[in-house]
């Protein structure tokens, strides 16, 4: 607050005591702190491969969540800064072993990738592809926030594709890596029109460099003022992920290209305009173990080309409305209490792979989540029904209270930070007794670091993450009463690994190592955008 604002408050207080005036000041100052300058990244969490459309005054964004279920989150915003999840394109992608985590198979790092979103003649289309199933998927609905969705799928799996509805009624798909291809789709979107496949751009990477770690990919096509603009990324060797833009007067080309942005690896996305006629690019950045975070970049037009950033840089502050809070509407605390008509799980939750719905339930009145075991598993990452939410930067914590009175011999339940190099704290039931255990898998293999005897059925657990300056460290805690916390085990050095290909997630888990039939109740989950123990 400015000094003049404080002075006005004293005048308002009039004959009221100075103490009351001070209370007014502190209250107003607290309210001011709740409104935060808009800053990049606009979501400090794992929201990669975004595709955005605007319908009137509302923006909708689809993003990648790979092996999570439900998949392809649909987020809504009215200002490009504050986002909330309003739907998913699918509940499960397919009912197969890899996505079900059965028979020793998994879909880590795969599932579905890089969705594209379109709005055409009153219908929303969200397309994606899957190396797990070998298929291309198109989901369509007239009501993107409520559904229902119609699912169309066909083979093969077209990598990083974009679909485009042209003004003449033809529907195109562009895909590829380095060498970009184009094909026409059937009018009902059930496959390609035979004989229409062609090379669109032989070497789309050329504007970036000749020596590349990653050739051009991530196609998104736009038609603006009668011209076609194709966005891609490439990664020059010794450089960073860069934005490449090609333009043409006809959709079939010829295309001319240029390097559009090379700043901290912020790349891959496309263009969006505001109702007032301003233009922005939406891109993302590999941001350490929190994941790939979305950025909004101002755009000006020069000689028919979009110019990204300010003097070649992505600004930290944006001329857009302020954030309404440090945690966007994509993570949330949950007491598991539900009113009539509410779903059992809010949209912020996703299961690690497809869930077995017979083995979880929500006690809607008392407020608890029950995770039951249905088989024996050999490791945390192969256990079904781990319920997850994103972590969020720059710092965050997740806390839960578990009741382990229903555990059976060999069961292990608690709170995790999920990635290939995971960490977790929980209760293990072995040899007739229960223990508090911390496991650290930062070496690539799980190591039980510390074990403490437990003689009660309820235990509070907490994990804290520090992503500031790419520190990427986490610590784990337990409490017998929810007031006094003790650190357990070792610090986890978090790392973004390609086998999982996503940022760290909080996970509530319970699995058996001997036999099924046990259960654990989770009383609540609380997520916070601050930490205490890592100050």
Count how many domains the chain has. Answer: 3
Q: Among residues 274, 308, 342, which one ends one of the domains? A: 308
Domain that holds residue 284: 51-308
> Both 298 and 193 in a single domain?
yes
Strand order across the 113-120 sheet? 113-120, 123-130, 135-141, 150-154
43 within a domain of the structure (yes/no): no
Here the CATH number for the domain that contains residue 191 is 2.115.10.20
Give the span between the Cα atoms of 58 and 78, in whole angstroms.
5
Beta partners for residue 69, in sequence order: 351
Here the CATH number for the domain that contains residue 520 is 2.60.120.200
Q: Among residues 254, 287, 308, which one ends one of the domains? A: 308
> Both 22 and 99 in a single domain?
no
Helix, strand or coil for residue 195? coil
440 within a domain of the structure (yes/no): yes
325 within a domain of the structure (yes/no): no
> Both 287 and 187 in a single domain?
yes
> Both 412 and 464 in a single domain?
yes
DSSP codes joined into one string, 293-326:
EEEEEEEEEETTEEEESBTTB--SB-SSPPBS-S
Other C-beta atoms lying within 10 Å of the C-beta of residue 352:
24
138 within a domain of the structure (yes/no): yes
> Both 148 and 275 in a single domain?
yes
Give the span between the Cα atoms of 225 and 431, in whole angstroms.
72
Helix, strand or coil for residue 9? helix
Contact 284, 274 (CB under 8 A): no
> Both 110 and 240 in a single domain?
yes
Contact 45, 392 (CB under 8 A): yes
45 within a domain of the structure (yes/no): no
Q: Which residues contact 117 (CB under 8 A, 6 or more apart)?
A: 51, 52, 53, 60, 61, 62, 124, 125, 126
pTM of the predicted model over 0.85: yes
428 within a domain of the structure (yes/no): yes
**What's residue 327's pLDDT?**
84
288 within a domain of the structure (yes/no): yes
Q: Among residues 254, 282, 308, which one ends one of the domains? A: 308
Other C-beta atoms lying within 10 Å of the C-beta of residue 121:
6
Q: Which residues contact 373 (CB under 8 A, 6 or more apart)?
A: 359, 408, 411, 510, 511, 512, 516, 517, 518, 519
Give the span between the Cα atoms of 520 and 225, in whole angstroms.
58
> Both 438 and 390 in a single domain?
yes
> Both 195 and 97 in a single domain?
yes
Give the span between the Cα atoms of 308 and 226, in whole angstroms.
20
> Both 265 and 386 in a single domain?
no
Contact 42, 315 (CB under 8 A): no
Q: Which two tokens stand for residue 411?
A: 């069961």
- Tens digits of residue pLDDT in 457-512: 999 999 999 999 999 999 999 999 999 999 999 999 999 999 999 999 999 999 99
103 within a domain of the structure (yes/no): yes
> Both 182 and 102 in a single domain?
yes
Nearest to 369 by CA among 521, 515, 262, 528: 521
Helix axes 3-13, 18-34, angle to 10 degrees: 140
> Both 394 and 438 in a single domain?
yes
**What's residue 325's pLDDT?**
80
Q: Which residues contact 99 (CB under 8 A, 6 or more apart)?
A: 67, 69, 92, 93, 107, 111, 132, 353, 354
Give the containing element (helix H, strand E) for 10: helix 3-13
> Both 166 and 216 in a single domain?
yes
C-alpha distances in Å from residue 129, one per residue of 123, 178, 200: 20, 18, 20
Give the span between the Cα atoms of 101 and 75, in whole angstroms.
27
Beta partners for residue 293, in sequence order: 285
Helix, strand or coil for residue 339? coil
Give the span between the Cα atoms of 496 and 94, in whole angstroms.
26
- Tens-of-pLDDT digits for all 535 residues of the chain? 333 333 343 333 343 344 433 333 333 343 333 445 568 999 999 999 999 999 999 999 999 999 999 999 999 999 999 999 999 999 999 999 999 999 999 999 999 999 999 999 999 999 999 999 999 999 999 999 999 999 999 999 999 999 999 999 999 999 999 999 999 999 999 999 999 999 999 999 999 999 999 999 999 999 999 999 999 999 999 999 999 999 999 999 999 999 999 999 999 999 999 999 999 999 999 999 999 999 999 999 999 999 999 999 999 999 999 888 878 789 999 999 999 999 999 999 999 999 999 999 999 999 999 999 999 999 999 999 999 999 999 999 999 999 999 999 999 999 999 999 999 999 999 999 999 999 999 999 999 999 999 999 999 999 999 999 999 999 999 999 999 999 999 999 999 999 999 999 999 999 999 999 999 999 999 999 999 854 4
Give the span between the Cα atoms of 6 and 26, in whole angstroms.
10
What letter does residue 334 receive in the DSSP assignment? B
């Amino acid at each position: 607050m400015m000094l003049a604002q404080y002075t006005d408050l004293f005048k308002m207080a009039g004959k009221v005591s100075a103490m009351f005036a001070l209370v007014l000041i502190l209250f107003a100052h607290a309210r001011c702190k709740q409104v935060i300058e808009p800053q990049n990244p606009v979501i400090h969490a794992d929201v990669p491969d975004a595709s955005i459309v605007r319908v009137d005054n509302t923006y909708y964004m689809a993003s990648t969540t790979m092996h999570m279920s439900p998949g392809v989150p649909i987020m809504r915003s009215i200002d490009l800064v504050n986002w909330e999840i309003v739907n998913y394109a699918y509940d499960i992608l397919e009912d197969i072993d890899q996505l079900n985590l059965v028979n020793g198979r998994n879909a880590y790092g795969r599932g579905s990738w890089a969705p594209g979103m379109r709005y055409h003649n009153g219908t929303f289309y969200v397309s994606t592809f899957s190396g797990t199933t070998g298929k291309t998927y198109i989901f369509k609905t007239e009501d993107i926030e409520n559904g229902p969705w119609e699912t169309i799928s066909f083979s093969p799996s077209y990598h990083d594709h974009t679909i485009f509805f042209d003004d003449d009624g033809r529907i195109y798909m562009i895909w590829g890596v380095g060498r970009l291809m184009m094909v026409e789709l059937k009018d009902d979107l059930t496959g390609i029109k035979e004989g229409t496949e062609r090379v669109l751009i032989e070497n789309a990477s050329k504007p970036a460099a000749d020596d590349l770690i990653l050739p051009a990919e991530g196609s998104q096509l736009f038609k603006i003022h009668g011209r076609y603009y194709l966005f891609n990324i490439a990664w020059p060797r010794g450089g960073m992920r860069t934005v490449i833009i090609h333009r043409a007067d006809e959709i079939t080309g010829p295309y001319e290209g240029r390097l559009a942005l090379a700043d901290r690896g912020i790349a891959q996305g496309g263009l969006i305009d505001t109702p007032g006629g301003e233009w922005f690019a939406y891109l993302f950045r590999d941001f350490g173990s929190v994941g790939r975070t979305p950025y909004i970049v101002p755009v000006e037009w020069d000689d028919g080309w979009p110019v990204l950033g300010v003097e070649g840089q992505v600004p930290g502050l944006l001329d857009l409305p302020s954030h309404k809070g440090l945690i966007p509407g994509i993570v949330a605390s949950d007491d598991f209490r539900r009113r009539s008509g509410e779903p059992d799980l809010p949209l912020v939750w996703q299961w690690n792979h497809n869930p077995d719905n017979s083995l979880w339930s929500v006690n809607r009145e008392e407020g608890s989540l029950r995770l039951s075991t249905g088989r024996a598993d050999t490791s945390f990452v192969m256990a079904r029904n781990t319920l997850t939410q994103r972590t969020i930067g720059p710092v965050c914590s997740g806390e839960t209270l578990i009741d382990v009175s229903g555990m059976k011999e060999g069961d292990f339940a608690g709170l995790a930070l999920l990635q290939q190099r995971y960490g977790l704290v929980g209760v293990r039931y072995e040899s007739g007794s229960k223990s508090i255990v911390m496991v650290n898998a930062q070496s690539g293999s799980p190591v039980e670091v510390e074990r403490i005897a437990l003689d009660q059925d309820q235990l509070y657990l907490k994990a804290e993450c520090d992503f500031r300056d790419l520190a990427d460290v986490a610590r784990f805690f337990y409490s017998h009463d929810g007031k006094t916390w003790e650190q357990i085990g070792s610090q986890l050095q978090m790392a973004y690994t390609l086998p999982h290909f996503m940022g760290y997630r909080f996970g509530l888990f319970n699995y058996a190592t001997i036999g099924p039939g046990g259960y654990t109740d989770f009383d609540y989950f609380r997520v916070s955008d601050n930490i205490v123990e890592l100050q």
